[in-house]
Amino acid sequence: MKSDKPTPTFGFGFLSRDDDRAVSPVIGTILMIAITVILAAVVGTFVLGFGDSAAETTPSASFDMSYSENSTEEGYNVTVAHASGQTFTDSNTGELRVVASDGPTDSFELPVSATESVTLEDVAPGETVRLVWESPSGDRTSTFESITVPEVEE
């Protein structure tokens, strides 16, 4: 049998002992919803493929590019040397190529660390040579360095 006597509130007239019991289930429900939303976001990120592409960052490195006259034909030899920075491996690089705008192409053989170089021969005067990094998945590329060889003076 319920009494009509008011429950003591210990100085807080708006609180009663019955109201305190409802707080715990409400907090529990809010926490369960928050955990479900966070888990769904993490799983969705990897299912949609965003997790893999975020891991493919361009390695940090410095390269030196120089050219010299080709002694056998009209044109230039362009040398690209890894000066410093990260080593390019199968895990962070799909391909590291040296590309002339209208001419030859060559690639570094992985792994590529400091002091390794590639020389592109028979580059025509006025061409631009670029060092292009490609991600392991092939989805992204980045140009590290470029150089334009001079026109032949007559």
**Average pLDDT of the chain, as a whole number:** 83
Same domain for 123 and 64: yes
For residue 4, the model assigns a pLDDT of 65
> Which tokens belong to 81?
């040397």
74 three-class SS: coil
Same domain for 71 and 42: no
- Give me the domain span that covers residue 114: 58-148
pLDDT band at 88 (very low <50, low <70, confident <90, very high): very high
Same domain for 81 and 123: yes
Same domain for 30 and 64: no
Rounded Cα distance, 131 and 91, in Å: 19
For residue 104, the model assigns a pLDDT of 84
Which of 120, 49, 60 has the alpha carbon at shortest distance from 93?
A: 60
34 three-class SS: helix
Would the pTM of this model clear 0.75, i.e. be above it? no
Looking at the DSSP assignment, which residues form a beta bridge with residue 143? 132
Rounded Cα distance, 57 and 135, in Å: 8
How many domains does the chain divide into?
2
> Which tokens belong to 56?
């493919």
Same domain for 62 and 46: no
Same domain for 70 and 35: no
Q: Which one has a higher pLDDT value, 106 or 18?
A: 106
What digits encode the pLDDT tens for the residues 7-37? Answer: 555 555 555 555 555 567 788 889 999 999 9
What digits encode the pLDDT tens for the residues 56-74? Answer: 688 899 999 999 988 777 7
For residue 14, the model assigns a pLDDT of 53
42-47 average pLDDT score: 82
pLDDT band at 153 (very low <50, low <70, confident <90, very high): low
Angle at 29 between CA 27 and CA 34, to 5 degrees: 95
